[in-house]
């Protein structure tokens, strides 16, 4: 099965899942007629999108069609998709995605921290959410070992109980990464690495439930990276850590840089203490090697 076939199937699956979530009364549609299915019917969506029922049925049957931007946008509008969902179905349809949301002149707290203080907590991950490098501070905060083989963020949120337990919003964190992972597979549906990870993660019931829900997130997700309230960790050694974060694509690669900044004075002091200890440990190691 080639990439376009895979994405046609995923598009059909996604549209069905979203259609079944919506209620006719929310669209001003009559509810007195007998309905054999929950949510909207195919003819409801076709009418709302101003396309033929036959054509919309073919889309949900994953038939080979050359979907136009107009048709995709009409369906997205009919089903009231958000920006992440619009980008996702455009990708699945083989169309260039619209521009990401513009946040204007808003300055993210993490960017302000980088501008004013060089002691930030950072890590680099690939498109499948494997951590490929991290600062000494990030290694301590997120318990990242020198062997990066099992430092996949989604895998750890599912199978690493010590790592998953530190997140006070574990479910939302997992939802975020599963949604971004779905977007990554839409971009590269034939990836051996991506599909191997999907197969392995599907062995975990929490992941399987979220994956089958067909939710999708932009990568990075504006709803989470630009939210007002900070994220929290309850670290077994460092205590409560509250931070903001922002993720940026690195030019010329499929890697992304995620930067974490303290959201309060206690976390700021914790970061400073860990950074100081790490620096002294590095200096001791250099002296040992040079002796």
Tell me: the pLDDT tens digits for 37-75?
678 999 999 999 999 999 999 999 999 999 999 999 999
C-alpha 87/C-alpha 100 separation (Å) is 8
- Indicate the DSSP class of residue 29: -
SS3 per residue for 109-121:
HHHHHHHHCCCCE
Which pLDDT band, with edges at 50, 70 and 90, does 108 fall under? low
- CB-based contact 138:121 (threshold 8 Å): yes
Highest mean pLDDT among 26-35, 68-77, 88-97, 147-156: 68-77
C-alpha radius of gyration, the chain, whole number: 22
Closest CA to 225 of 250, 244, 243, 249: 244
Q: Once rounded to an integer, what is the mean pLDDT over residues 245-260?
A: 83
For tokens 């050359």, the residue is 66
- CB-based contact 37:19 (threshold 8 Å): no
pTM of the entire structure?
0.80
Token pair recorded at residue 92: 């699945």
C-alpha 43/C-alpha 146 separation (Å) is 55
- Residues 6 or more apart in contact with residue 219 via CB below 8 angstroms: 180, 183, 184, 247, 256
Lowest mean pLDDT among 52-66, 100-114, 188-202, 254-268: 100-114
Beta bridge partners, 36, equal none
- Rounded to the nearest 10 degrees, how much is the dihedral formed by the CA atoms of 117, 118, 121, 123? 140
Domains by residue range for the chain, with CATH: 3-92 (1.10.260.40), 109-288 (3.30.450.180)
Closest CA to 217 of 186, 188, 258: 186
3-class SS of residue 132: strand
Highest mean pLDDT among 23-37, 105-119, 255-269: 255-269
Which pLDDT band, with edges at 50, 70 and 90, does 185 fall under? very high
Report the share of the chain in percent with pLDDT over 90. 59
Lowest mean pLDDT among 26-35, 36-45, 169-178, 259-268: 26-35
Which pLDDT band, with edges at 50, 70 and 90, does 132 fall under? confident
C-alpha 82/C-alpha 275 separation (Å) is 40
3-class SS of residue 188: coil
pLDDT for residue 39: 87
Report the share of the chain in percent with pLDDT over 70. 84
């Amino acid at each position: 099965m080639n990439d376009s076939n895979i994405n046609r199937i995923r598009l059909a699956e996604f549209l069905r899942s979203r259609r079944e979530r919506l209620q006719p009364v929310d669209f001003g549609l009559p509810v007195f007629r007998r309905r054999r299915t929950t949510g909207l019917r195919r003819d409801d969506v076709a009418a709302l999108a101003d396309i033929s029922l036959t054509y919309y049925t073919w889309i949900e049957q994953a038939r080979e069609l050359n979907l136009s931007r107009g048709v995709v946008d009409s369906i997205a509008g009919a089903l009231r998709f958000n920006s992440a969902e619009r980008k996702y179905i455009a990708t699945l349809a083989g169309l260039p995605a619209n521009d990401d949301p513009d946040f204007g002149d808003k300055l993210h707290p993490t960017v302000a921290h980088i501008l004013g203080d060089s002691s930030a907590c950072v890590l680099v991950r690939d498109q499948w959410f494997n951590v490929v490098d991290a600062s000494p501070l990030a290694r301590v905060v997120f318990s990242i070992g020198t062997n990066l083989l099992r430092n996949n963020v989604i895998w750890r949120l599912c199978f690493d109980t010590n790592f998953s337990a530190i997140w006070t919003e574990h479910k939302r964190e997992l939802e975020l990464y599963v949604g971004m992972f779905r977007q990554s597979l839409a971009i590269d549906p034939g990836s051996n690495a991506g599909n191997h990870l999907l197969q392995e993660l599907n062995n975990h019931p929490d992941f399987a439930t979220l994956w089958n829900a067909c939710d999708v997130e932009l990568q990075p997700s504006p709803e989470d990276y630009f939210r007002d309230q900070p994220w929290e960790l309850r670290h077994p050694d460092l205590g409560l850590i509250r931070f903001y974060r922002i993720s940026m694509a690195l030019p010329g690669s499929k890697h992304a840089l995620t930067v974490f900044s303290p959201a309060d004075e206690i976390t700021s002091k914790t970061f400073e203490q860990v950074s100081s200890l790490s620096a002294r440990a590095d200096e001791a190691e250099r002296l040992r090697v040079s002796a």
